[in-house]
C-alpha cells in the first residue's frame, strides 16, 4: 500500500492535504496517466513550435482536442443512454423521427412526408 495526497491530484477539490492508502495497481495507473499526460504535452509543444494553426494538415485538431480519457468516454456513453431513454419516452411518431435524424443520421427531407401540391 502506498500513500498519496489527493490534493496533488485534485487541486480544485481538496484545499488541504488529504492522504489515502492505495494499492500498487492504483498507484501504477496514476503514474501511467501522469506519464501519458506529460508525453502528450511534450508532443503538442513540439508540434506547436513547428506548425501554424492555420495550416490545413490536420495538426490543429490534435493540438486543440485531447484524446478522451476513460472517464470522459464513460460519461459520454451515460449521457447518450439518457438522451436515448428520453427520446424513447416520446410519442412513437416523434421518437421515430428524432431517432432517425439524430442517431441514424437520416436527413430530415428523407423522413418527412411529401408536401401535397393541393395547398
Alpha helices in 1-119 (DSSP H): 6-9, 24-50, 59-64, 70-88, 92-98, 108-111
Whose cell is 492535504? That residue is 17
What does each C-alpha distance from 7 to 17, 18, 34 come to in angstroms?
5, 6, 15
Q: pTM here? A: 0.40
Q: What is the rounded CA–CA span in Å between residue 21 and residue 4?
A: 6
**pLDDT values of the chain reduced to their tens digit, one per residue, 119 residues:** 889 888 888 888 888 999 999 999 989 998 898 898 888 878 777 766 555 555 555 555 565 666 777 888 889 899 988 988 888 888 988 888 887 887 777 776 666 665 554 45
Amino acid at each position: 500500500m502506498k500513500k498519496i495526497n489527493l490534493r496533488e491530484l485534485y487541486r480544485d477539490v481538496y484545499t488541504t492535504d488529504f492522504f489515502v492508502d492505495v494499492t500498487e495497481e492504483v498507484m501504477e495507473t496514476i503514474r501511467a496517466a501522469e506519464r501519458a499526460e506529460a508525453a502528450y504535452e511534450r508532443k503538442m509543444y513540439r508540434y506547436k513550435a513547428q506548425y501554424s494553426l492555420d495550416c490545413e494538415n490536420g495538426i490543429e485538431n490534435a493540438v486543440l482536442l485531447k484524446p478522451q480519457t476513460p472517464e470522459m468516454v464513460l460519461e459520454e456513453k451515460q449521457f447518450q443512454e439518457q438522451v436515448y431513454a428520453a427520446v424513447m419516452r416520446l410519442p412513437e411518431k416523434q421518437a421515430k423521427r428524432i431517432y432517425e435524424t439524430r442517431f441514424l443520421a437520416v436527413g430530415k427531407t428523407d423522413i418527412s412526408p411529401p408536401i401535397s401540391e393541393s395547398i
